[in-house]
Amino acid sequence: MRIDVVTIFPEYLAPLDVSLVGKARAKGLLDVRLHQLRDQAHDVHRTVDDTPYGGGPGMVMKPEPWAAALDAVAPPDAGPPPRLIVPTPSGRPFTQQLAVELAAEPWLVFAPARYEGIDRRVIDEAGTRMRVDEVSIGDYVLAGGEVAVLVIVEAVARLLPGVLGNAESARDDSFAPGAMANLLEGPVYTKPAVWRDREVPSVLLSGNHGAIARWRRDQALRRTAQNRPDLLERLTPEDVDKHDRATLAALGWTERDGRFSSDGPPVAH
Ligand code: JCH
């Protein structure tokens, strides 16, 4: 996969040299190219921003440098275009599903903005010659799009064939103990078996694989009820077995008309 990033802060993307993404690049599985937006601003100050039409606070990124940069990276009428990803707090949510979709693409271009964002006409015009997605990595406000690019690139890169080792890639996220991406993962433990007087739950040392799977599933249900009740509300009766139902009931969650809902304050444990 090829990834181009156009930014006024290419040095902000230095983490792409490290760890999983850095190794994927070293292996030739990922070709990342960074581009300085200011190289396309030709006035003495290499200006990329201006005041907003209609007034208001802050500055807006000018269209000309962005258009020149995007044309240079992906010339119009030069073969299959890339997908353009524009991080913004107003975008569609970035999810694992979108990561999987992007991981199947041969070429992504990222346009992380600063200030109050990019002149709308750049996005609209790019949309006439390539698929454009404005994407939000979460409901909080960053100072610019570079960190969102790091998040998205890491989530996509780990899905590329050959990037993860055998042990890690065998763990398909959607079939992990929490199951079906409907539930959060439970807690994990490693040696030593006792640490600062705290024991690893004995079932994990039992060698009883059925009991371990059941315990992990119960922990996943408990953690999901605690941290992401919205995920439990999406569960359907087909997602749960008899024991799940009992665990959910103990957590205050019962089925009514094919959907689960909380009966009231959760029971303390
Ligand atoms: C960004 C900004 C608009 C602040 C400028 C470019 C993405 N999930 C997510 N949170 N924040 C971002 C993001 C991405 C790119 C840029 N800013 C600062 C932009 C605002 O309107 C309310 C506020 C933030």
User: First and final CA of the chain: distance in angstroms?
Assistant: 47
% pLDDT > 70, the chain: 95
Q: Is 238 a catalytic residue?
A: no
Q: Does the pLDDT of residue 181 top 70, yes or no?
A: no
**pLDDT reported for residue 175:** 46
More confident residue, 173 or 19: 19
- Given the residues 168, 173, 233, 263, select the one marked as catalytic: 173
Mean pLDDT (the chain, rounded)? 95
Instruction: Provide the 10 A C-beta neighbour count for residue 26.
Output: 10
Coil, strand or helix: which one is 38? helix
- Given the residues 17, 50, 116, 233, select the one marked as catalytic: 116
Q: Is 146 a catalytic residue?
A: no
The answer, yes or no, to whether the previous bond of 63 is cis (omega within 30 of 0) is no
State if residue 117 touches ligand 1 by the CB under 6 angstroms criterion: yes
**pLDDT reported for residue 206:** 98
State if residue 116 touches ligand 1 by the CB under 6 angstroms criterion: yes
Q: Does the pLDDT of residue 101 top 60, yes or no?
A: yes
Q: Does the pLDDT of residue 85 top 70, yes or no?
A: yes
% pLDDT > 90, the chain: 91
Q: Does the pLDDT of residue 180 top 50, yes or no?
A: no
Coil, strand or helix: which one is 197? coil
State if residue 60 touches ligand 1 by the CB under 6 angstroms criterion: no
Per residue in 110-142, pLDDT tens?
999 999 999 999 999 999 999 999 999 999 999
Rounded to the nearest angstrom, the distance between the alpha carbon of 170 and the centre of ligand 1 is: 36
**pLDDT reported for residue 262:** 97
Rounded to the nearest angstrom, the distance between the alpha carbon of 33 and the centre of ligand 1 is: 23
**pLDDT reported for residue 269:** 64
State if residue 58 touches ligand 1 by the CB under 6 angstroms criterion: no
Beta bridge partners of residue 5, listed in sequence order: 34, 110
Q: How far from the centroid of its chain's Cα atoms is residue 66's Cα?
A: 25
In this prediction the pTM is: 0.96
Q: What angle do CA 182, 180, 176 make, to 5 degrees?
A: 110
Which DSSP symbol is given to 269?
Answer: -
pLDDT band at residue 266 under the 50/70/90 scheme: low
Q: How far from the centroid of its chain's Cα atoms is residue 117's Cα?
A: 20
Rounded to the nearest angstrom, the distance between the alpha carbon of 87 and the centre of ligand 1 is: 7
- Given the residues 15, 81, 89, 229, select the one marked as catalytic: 89
**pLDDT reported for residue 127:** 98
Per residue in 5-62, pLDDT tens?
999 999 999 999 999 999 999 999 999 999 999 999 999 999 999 999 999 999 999 9
Rounded to the nearest angstrom, the distance between the alpha carbon of 62 and the centre of ligand 1 is: 16
**pLDDT reported for residue 179:** 47
Which DSSP symbol is given to 104?
Answer: T
Per residue in 203-250, pLDDT tens?
999 999 999 999 999 999 999 999 999 999 999 999 999 999 999 999
State if residue 148 touches ligand 1 by the CB under 6 angstroms criterion: yes
Tell me the CA distances in angstroms from 61 to 7, 32, 38, 262, one per residue in order: 11, 24, 11, 47
Rounded to the nearest angstrom, the distance between the alpha carbon of 59 and the centre of ligand 1 is: 12
Backbone angles phi, psi at 7, to 5 degrees: -160, 155
Q: Is 259 a catalytic residue?
A: no
